[in-house]
Structure 1
Amino acid sequence: MPVKPLDQIMAADWAESLQPVEPTIRQMGRFLREEHDNGHATLPASENIFRAFQEPMSSVRVLIIGQDPYPTPGHAMGLSFSVKDDVRPLPRSLKNIYQELQSDLGITPPEHGDLSSWSHQGIMLMNRCLSVRAGEAGSHRNKGWEAITDAALDALGARDQPLVAILWGRDARNAGSRLGPQVPKIESVHPSPLSASRGFFGSRPFSRANAALESLGQQPVDWTLR
């Protein structure tokens, strides 16, 4: 991870809000360099680690919390649940998200798995941990990322702006509790193939998020992916 001022790796308002955890961000940079020095490849590429923070915090209307990046080389690109547009086949969790999107809103999913167009609409796709060893899911948990994403959650919850959280699975629900009771939360089990049939399918998170936005006086999201 490059040693740059925070406002060169993320939007200015995020850089300001995450200033208290800048030492931890620097610590994680050192941790990743040590991983590389020890022969471990890490994902995503360094320039994409803070991809979810490159859109302004002030633009965030919907937050979707993931766990950690896809550990398969070539997949992770810095947004939770999203993969690079040339990845085939799509991860099964993402295929399940697309299935529910079509069932919920009638939107035909694209062939690619790049969710960047959602992030441009104020949908923040933030993983709980922002890196992973290639081939080792969960390998960078409890190394320091959680303190950084906790700070991001606290900053979002403290804004005087409407926000809706979509929380899939226990880890996301636990993290989302930091946002406070004023933030509407759309909760279900995780879209993983291990759990999707136990309450993710049929949960209608996209239409429910739009209804929550409208109840807050906001325009609904266009969930169409391009």
Structure 2
Amino acid sequence: MDIKMEQSWKEVLKQEFSKPYFQQIVTFLKTEKLQKKIIYPPGSLIFNAFDQTPFHHLKVVILGQDPYHGAGQAHGLCFSVQDGVPPPPSLINIYKEIESDIGVGMPARYGNLTKWAQQGVLMLNAFLTVRANEPASHSKIGWEEFTNSVIKKISDEKKGVVFILWGKFAQEKQVLIDETKHYVLKAAHPSPFSADKGFFGCRHFSKTNELLMKQGIEPIDWKLP
């Protein structure tokens, strides 16, 4: 499998790539392709979050769960979609909260969050692949062991990272984070099913920047093109 990620991550995660569970992921994905299954995101974008946000530049982690399973959507950044794809409902709610929180209007037809990733926001899904039109279809193939290791590595080897955990699934990852060294922000998931139960009004975007500036770290410019 083409592990396309920025070099600093390859160093940090090199032990994971040789573990049996990771080899099982590779074998599973190769088998899916041989069976003509359509998998998202495309192979070159599976590790896009790591490619766009080098380990040494990482300031913030946003945790998602599953890649989008519709054609042309997923490109390896949680909640983000490729150029030309309208923002899905959860992302629209994220835009609404940003506008309410910091007064920045968001584009109605633009859902690519690469700009955030390039400023140090690791946009990490727990599962890095999915079969077309089958949500959570790759949730049991070993990805969670890999991404749990990623979270633990960040917690162990960095300091002052802001972890943004939306929804129950993401909040279960809190046990992997050393809160004596890092910051954890929690709220309901931005999905239309739960956004009005604690996501709206969470002010995580301004709070994140306050926590970064308190450490003398440049804040995130959440405004999109």
Per-residue CA distance 1:173-224 (angstroms, 9 max, x = gap):
1123312112111110100011001110111110011111122332221111
Quote the residue 1:206 is aligned against. Answer: 205
Contact 1:153 1:176 in 2 (8 A): no
Q: How many residue pairs get matched?
A: 220
Quote the residue 1:21 is aligned against. Answer: 16
Quote the residue 1:176 is aligned against. Answer: 174
- CA shift, 1:161, in A, is 3.3
Query: Using the alignment, how far apart are the partners of 2:173 and 2:215 within structure 1?
Result: 22
Structure 1 residues 73-88: aligned runs within 5 Å? 73-88=71-86
User: What stretches of structure 2 of length at least 5 have no aligned partner?
Assistant: none
Quote the residue 1:153 is aligned against. Answer: 151
Query: Using the alignment, how far apart are the partners of 2:220 and 2:113 within structure 1?
Result: 14
User: What stretches of structure 1 of length at least 5 have no aligned partner?
Assistant: none
Judged with a 3 Å threshold, the aligned counterparts in structure 2 of structure 1 residues 183 and 161 are, in CA distance, closer, same or farther, namely closer
Contact 2:162 2:211 in 1 (8 A): yes
Greater displacement, 129-138 / 20-29 = 20-29
Secondary structure at the counterpart of residue 211 of structure 2: helix
Secondary structure at the counterpart of residue 108 of structure 1: coil
Query: Using the alignment, how far apart are the partners of 1:28 and 1:102 within structure 2?
Result: 39
Quote the residue 1:44 is aligned against. Answer: 41
Greater displacement, 159-168 / 99-108 = 159-168
Secondary structure at the counterpart of residue 70 of structure 2: coil
Contact 1:66 1:127 in 2 (8 A): yes
Quote the residue 1:12 is aligned against. Answer: 7
Secondary structure at the counterpart of residue 140 of structure 2: coil
Structure 1 residues 110-149: aligned runs within 5 Å? 110=107, 111-149=109-147
After TM superposition, the score normalised by the length of structure 2 is 0.93
After TM superposition, the score normalised by the length of structure 1 is 0.93
Quote the residue 2:222 is aligned against. Answer: 223
